[in-house]
Amino acid sequence: MDYDFNFAVVWRNWDLLAQGLGLGLSLAVLSIAIGTGIGLIAAFGMLSKLRPVRWIALAYVSAIRNTPILVLILFTYFALPQMGVRLEKIPSFIFTLSIYAGAYLAEVFRGGLVALPLGLREAGLAIGLTEFRTKIYIIIPVMMRNVLPSLSNNFISLFKDTSLAAVIAVPELTYYARKINVESFRVIETWMVASLIYVAACYIIASLLRRLEARLAIPR
């Protein structure tokens, strides 16, 4: 390949890239937090004894999990306002990613719940906790420890999905990379740097989660 690399034009805009990365991380953290809540509710819903509850939870997970995230983003941003629901650019994206994260995490949590020994719940009820408190104090903490490895996987995936916010002009990392690319014509350098930033960020997230895993591991 006969090409003179010139990273200077990309580094000159490092502040934009840093800003973009910051926004991307904030979008991911918020969406994952909200999505975890939705996912827990949906997981318990899918395992509920009540048929309508089960049905609603299942419908939500199937509908969202089987729609590409890009379509969901475009739908929320462009179609919902015409149906009377108007969220601003960034809330609109957080809403979409949360709903999307919820559907995926619901399946992870459901797997974790099914794997728990029945004795845990019985023990909780036996010492006089209510059904709700048993879930909060016993079921969820134990289940969380078990699913942490697959949760990490989903978190990283969701962080990378924030790159799709560029489509609706949310100024995160990919958006700025594209902007620098268009203005400098340094295609290879720009996308190389953007990729490296994503790799580094994901690596850091993964190692933090792994340390958390190690701390919370159930001694065997």
Partner 1 sequence: MNMKLVLATTFAALMAAPAVAQDGDKLKEVLDRGYLILGSGSTNPPWHFMDGDNQLTGFDIDMGRLVAKALFGDPDKIEYVQQSGDARIPNLATGKVDLTCQFMTVTAERAQQVEFTIPYYREGVGLLLMEGGDYADYEALKAGGSDVTVAVLQNVYAEEMVHTALPEATVDQYDSVDLMYQALNSGRAEAAATDQSALRWFMVQNPGRYLDAGYGWNPQTYACAVQPGDQRWLNFVNTVLHEGMTGVEFPFYSASFEKWFGTELESPQIGFPVEYK
**Binder of partner 1 out of 5, 11, 55, 78 (CB under 8 A):** 78
178 binds partner 1 (CB under 8 A): yes
Looking at the Cβ atoms of 86 and 133, the one nearer to partner 1 is: 86
Q: x-or-dash pattern for partner 1, window 19-58, by CB under 8 A?
A: ----------------------------------------
Please report how close the Cβ of residue 199 comes to partner 1 at its closest, in angstroms: 23
Looking at the Cβ atoms of 25 and 168, the one nearer to partner 1 is: 168
Q: Which residues contact 11 (CB under 8 A, 6 or more apart)?
A: 193
Stretch near partner 1 under the rule CB under 8 A, chosen from 25-33, 82-90, 98-106, 136-144: 82-90
Stretch near partner 1 under the rule CB under 8 A, chosen from 52-60, 152-160, 172-180, 192-200: 172-180
Stretch near partner 1 under the rule CB under 8 A, chosen from 23-31, 98-106, 113-121, 167-175: 167-175
77 binds partner 1 (CB under 8 A): yes
Give residues in contact with partner 1 (CB under 8 A): 74, 77-79, 81-82, 86, 89, 166-169, 175, 178-179, 182-183
